[in-house]
Amino acid sequence: MDLLQPIIKPYAWGSRDALARLQGRSTPSAGPEAELWMGAHPSGAAGTTRGGQATTLLDVVAEDPHRELGAACVREFGDRLPFLLKVLAAEQPLSIQVHPDREQARSAFAAQQAEGGGGPYADDWPKPELLHALSRFEVLAGFRDREEAAQLLENLGVDGLRPVIGLLRGGTDAQGLSEALRAVLERAPDERAPLVSAVVESSRRLARSANPHAAAYAALVRMARHHPDDLGLVASLLLNHRVLEPGTALFMPAGGLHAYVHGVGLELLANSDNVLRAGLTAKEVNVPELLRITNPAVRVPVVTPTGVAGPGPTWLYDCPAREFALYKTELDGSHGPLVPASGPRIAFCADGSARLSTGGTEPLRIAAGSSCFLPASDDDVLVEGRGTLFVAAVGLSPDKPSSLVQDSPSH
């Protein structure tokens, strides 16, 4: 067992109190703190100590992959911890973005490297994601129904949107949505500011109305405070708007267009940093590649937790990604085996504290905001405490129950 020193990513959209409060530090922090990385990605490998020496989880895994990851994990994913665990603290909206699947990532990264490196792909891995809301979490996730999207745009009464509405109503579902997105994002430069301004003003009016999609218009108005002339504001109305209550989880498959708007959440994803952005960001935007990767047919399902045996009430948030699975245990003072019992795992304490022990080692206590890595060689771990413990693990088990349900209602 290795206590982790997570990496804090100071992106501009982050909070100055959420992560600091979670970790018991003074607030406000010196600057925005957006993501807490607990994993072994080269862009932000968590620190740890082995044999009295400071190192990183990336180096620990590289030193002995079979011991750390286990034979089954190495056979499937090679010498790489296949998942990355994060806490997101979104004070401002994140970019509208999409992530590639495995083949897209491999081929695009290889082509990028053959051309000398540099480009939008950080690595050759896919990036499906599971988002578990720790607070109320506002998201834009997956495309709306084509007619519904057309109606939201039509409600605005903005003449510049007529061609987009025509594309939505004139094509098939996937084609109409793709062409509408392209028409928004590739708008002529001299038309962008007037169009966005008109959309924001109409949205402000509709946000105060009894319109059934008032919440989506209100979200657009709030996002406009940070990105006032961004075409991503118009594109946001093509996407489902949702507010996740704490404990709700959403699975984001490859190809699903999305943006996280506001809230604190635990994110479990394949061990990748591949992001293609369309707007609502000061970072690099790559509209042609985003349009190539985006699949309007991708659904973004809510994940219903499945109860499993554990040292307290325990649930599995399962999804189709083979790289990861998320377990949540409400520790109630009971003492019992950690779930899951095998494979490489990262345990994160969201509140309270937990005490983990295994034969031949000193017990390890993790408090709220703390995390630890458990290698595959630690297969008899006991846990006790009071609080909420999340465990990220590999999603290889063939007998995991399916836990996906239909999309939740959008606004």
- Tell me the catalytic residues: 277
What is residue 410's three-state secondary structure? coil
Of 198, 250, 243, 244, the C-alpha closest to 224 is: 198
Task: Give strand ranges (E) for 100-246.
Answer: 129-133, 137-143, 239-244
What is residue 158's three-state secondary structure? coil
Contacts of 50-55 with C-beta under 8 Å, sequence gap 24+, read 50/2
Q: Round to whole Å and give the CA distance between 331 and 365.
A: 13
Query: How many residues are listed for the chain in this entry?
Result: 411
Complete DSSP assignment for 80-113: S--EEEEEEEESSPPPEEE---HHHHHHHHHHHH
CA distance to 18, 44, 150, 186, 264, per residue, from 6 (Å): 15, 8, 44, 39, 16
Q: Is the CB of residue 392 less than 8 Å from the CB of residue 81? A: no
Residue 94's φ and ψ, nearest 5 degrees, are -80, 170
Give the largest Cα separation in the chain, rounded: 72
173-185 helix and 146-156 helix, angle to the nearest 10 degrees:
40
Burial of 72 (0-12, 13-18, 19+ CB in 10 A): middle
Q: Round to whole Å and give the CA distance between 82 and 394.
A: 7
The single-letter code of the amino acid at 354 is A
Residue carrying the six token digits 């008032």: 214
Task: Specify the DSSP class assigned to residue 257.
Answer: -
Q: What is the bridge-based pairing of β-strands 302-303 and 47-50?
A: unpaired
> Cα 18 vs. chain centroid, distance in angstroms?
17
Question: Is omega for the bond preceding 340 within 30 degrees of 0, making it cis?
Answer: yes
What is residue 252's three-state secondary structure? strand
